[in-house]
Amino acid sequence: MGATPSRRDFLWTAASTLAVASAPRITAAPPELTAAELTARVREKVGVAWRTPSVDGFKAGSPEALVSGIATTVVATIDVLRRAAAAGHNLVITQEPTFYTAGEDGGTAANDPVYAAKRTLVDERHLVIWRFSDHWNARRPNESVAALANALGWSAYRESDSDGLYRIPEIRLDALLQHVRTRLRVRGGLRWLGVPDMPVRTVVLSPGTTDLPSTVSRLPHADAIIAGEPREWEAVPYVLDTRPRKALLSLGRVVSLEPAAAACATWLRSFTPEVPVEALAAGDPYWSPLA
């Protein structure tokens, strides 16, 4: 038989155990990620050659800032920027320009109070804004089209030989309008051309800008185009002149691209475990007086 532990041994063991249990735990610091490192990772993962010149790139803030969180959005309005800052997301990735023009240089607008207020907000909240449009839209299948189809519940209906063409269960045009309005939470921007009781079996999804060449090439294969921002002097009169055979639904650019911002957030999460990533909806900018 072994020796019986003495009372002194027992007390020493108990004290040692208590000391270990009460000692502060040393945890590894969370990995640091700068905005420049994150965007370099995006360039590596995006799957298309990075081209120059491009609208994509930093528009405000320091690329060397440590990222505390990422917000994706269609357009970085002042409201979106405030919500991003409140949620602790200092890197805002946007599809559309933040400072109102494609160049985003401000020019004489630098003295404009609206432009200045946005700049001040960005500086005071230490935000970094990075535009990600050209290369996101260059991915295939088209991310904006696929995200819009998913939002409408039509992912399973894509025609494999044509990007943007979907063969959906037959539905009347007026019922299709309600389906789109409800699924996309359209507040006031939905406009349409067509005959209310016409049957719709095939649709072309065209988020963003819809020009005449794409309308002419795709409309023969579809009953309706669901567009973001159709050019009113091109695509709209072309569809108008086909009546009653074809239809057009105009969602508004922001509404049509909103699902893509959410899809971008999901994609970023797949390779950015260090920080939270959240999609912030800009929402339909329009209100209907009849709503």
What tens digit of pLDDT does each residue of 113-122 get?
999 999 999 9
Cis previous bond, 141, omega within 30? yes
What tens digit of pLDDT does each residue of 45-65 get?
999 999 999 999 999 999 999
* Number of structural domains found in the chain: 2
Task: Tell whether 171 and 128 lie within a shared domain.
Answer: no
Task: Tell whether 235 and 149 lie within a shared domain.
Answer: yes
| DSSP letters for 137-181 | HHSSS-HHHHHHHHHTT-GGGB-TTSTTEEEEEEEEHHHHHHHHH
Task: Tell whether 198 and 127 lie within a shared domain.
Answer: no
Q: Residue 14 falls within a domain, yes or no?
A: no
What's the rounded Cα separation, in Å, for the pair 176 and 173?
5
Task: Tell whether 134 and 148 lie within a shared domain.
Answer: no
Range of the domain at 50: 35-138
**Would you call 115 helix, strand, or coil by DSSP?**
helix
State the chain's mean pLDDT as an integer.
89
Q: Residue 11 falls within a domain, yes or no?
A: no
Of 105, 138, 171, the residue at which a domain comes to its end is 138
Widest pairwise Cα distance in the chain: 104
pLDDT exceeds 90 at position 8: no
Q: Residue 43 falls within a domain, yes or no?
A: yes
Q: Dihedral, CA atoms, 72, 156, 139, 232, nearest 10 degrees?
A: -80
Tell me what pLDDT residue 179 has.
98
Task: Tell whether 39 and 66 lie within a shared domain.
Answer: yes
> Quick one: pLDDT band at residue 25, thresholds 50, 70, 90?
low
CATH number at residue 248: 3.40.1390.30
Cis previous bond, 237, omega within 30? no
